């Protein structure tokens, strides 16, 4: 059976949507606990990549 693989464009769009939704969810959780999203510095993509890499 033919299996369609997602294009790079579709994958990037899905990743962008997931990040957007995760940020909204995080903001709601923080607000419910008395915090503001602006109280926390926003990580850059390079920061996120560095945290995923184990230190040697």
Euclidean distance between CA atoms 10 and 13, whole angstroms = 5
* pTM of the full structure: 0.56
Convert the pLDDT of each residue in 1-48 to its tens digit.
Answer: 566 788 999 999 999 999 999 999 988 998 898 888 777 777 665 555
């Amino acid at each position: 059976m033919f299996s369609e693989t997602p294009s790079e464009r579709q994958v990037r769009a899905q990743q962008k949507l997931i990040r957007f939704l995760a940020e909204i969810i995080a903001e709601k959780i923080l607000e419910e606990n008395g915090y503001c999203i602006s109280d926390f510095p926003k990580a850059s993509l390079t920061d996120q990549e560095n945290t995923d890499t184990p230190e040697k």
